[in-house]
Amino acid sequence: MPKVSIIIPVYNAEGFIGVTIESLLNQTLTDCEYIFVNDGSTDNSLEVLQRYAVKDTRIVVIDQANQGISIARNSGVNISTGEYIGFMDNDDYVKPDMFETLYNDAVANNADIIVSKTILGRDGKYIIKDSIFPAGLVYDNAFIQDNIITNLLKAEDLFAVWNKLYKRSHIDEFNVRFPKNRNIEEDSMFNFQAFNKASRVIFTEYSGYYYKDVVVNESRKLIERDYFARAIERYLFDYKKEVGLVTKDEDIARLTAIRLIHRVFYLFFKCALDGFAGKKTRYNYIKNMITNPLVRNVAAKYNTHTLGINGYFERVVFFIIKSQAIIIMGVVIKMLQLFYTPKLSEFLRTLNKTKTGEQQNVIKKNI
């Protein structure tokens, strides 16, 4: 049994998968297996994977018809044999000591799940996002239910699977898998299952996974893929039935309302700048969000304090929603399109973080 199994779904990645593979082969923890699932790539990704597999027996290649990232990951989980399981995207890379550090901490604390800090590629630099819970403490299921599940319901902080290791016995005991019928937010559903049944979770100060938020990536076609519809779907999702949460109904309603409104803020900003869609399409899509009855009801029911709205941009958008101020909406869209730059975005984030007290570290390294 290897100590760690890392699962990487691959789709049309021949131009950059080599960087991902090399970062894995350079790991200081050598007792690993790397399972690459070629999900029906139409380029030469499979050939690249096969060449590496001949050179290093730790590389396992699965070739299957295109079925989506969830089924690809599940295929990898099903054949993995490691004591702990982790995941990577096919365009990211990791520090050489990533999996040795996480594995040693996980074993030392007998953790079901270990969570590292995230390193996000954004605005020409890498930014280390601090953990939302203190590091080095072992959290039991009571804390998980009161705090971690709460965070999963209302925010995006813990959605990713790529900055974590999961104990294989825990994943198998509760049959934790990615949902087959969802095109996005597969990570969240996996984490809801994994955390909901976990008894020992630990956060670490370590950060070693480089995630690129690539603007031209297929997944960034927010309007074309209708991310707002997915946000509504998640708001209406029956977590008690589908995941078995024990959280009170009124708390779920409040927390999912927070997430929906904050998702609208995010999509308002991103869709205004969506280079894949025309201006009229962007305007109409944002207007549809602002005038959506569910969004309007949430805005009417909860105030800014309850929803945790602190940023200046978010307060303006919340006013637009509550007042149905479509003219102001159009002005804000136009201003974003005319004046947005990465430097301006970074300035606004800094301004908001100064207001909220949120901290983050910046690595002075170009992407």
State the pLDDT at residue 277: 80
Q: Which two tokens stand for residue 156?
A: 């995006």
Average pLDDT over residues 141-147: 96
State the pLDDT at residue 364: 41
Stretch among 7-16, 252-261, 308-317, 353-362 having the lowest mean pLDDT: 353-362
Q: How many angstroms separate the CA atoms of 4 and 310, rounded?
A: 40
**185: region left, alpha or beta (phi > 0 left; psi from -120 to 50 alpha):** left
First to last CA, the chain: 36
Average pLDDT over residues 195-208: 96
Average pLDDT over residues 115-134: 82
Q: How many angstroms separate the CA atoms of 233 and 211, rounded?
A: 26
Is the model's pLDDT at 262 over the cut of 50? yes
For helices 45-55 and 17-25, give the axis angle rounded to 10 degrees: 20
Q: How many angstroms separate the CA atoms of 191 and 176, rounded?
A: 9
Measured CA angle at 202 (ends 201, 203), to 5 deg? 135
Average pLDDT over residues 186-204: 95
Average pLDDT over residues 334-354: 70
CB 278 within 8 A of CB 260: no
State the pLDDT at residue 197: 95
State the pLDDT at residue 343: 66
**132: region left, alpha or beta (phi > 0 left; psi from -120 to 50 alpha):** alpha
- Which of 195-204, 211-220, 354-363: highest mean pLDDT? 195-204
Q: What structural domains does the chain harbor?
A: 4-212 (3.90.550.10), 225-363 (no CATH)
Q: Which two tokens stand for residue 3?
A: 């100590």
Model confidence band, residue 284 (pLDDT cutoffs 50, 70, 90): very high
State the pLDDT at residue 352: 58
Model confidence band, residue 367 (pLDDT cutoffs 50, 70, 90): very low
What does the mean pLDDT of the chain come to?
Answer: 89
Could you give the dihedral angle defined by the CA atoms of residues 191, 196, 198 and 204, in that order, rounded to the nearest 10 degrees?
50
Q: Which two tokens stand for residue 140?
A: 């039991």
Please give the model's pTM, rounded to 2 decimal places: 0.86
| 89: helix, strand or coil | coil
CB 19 within 8 A of CB 93: yes
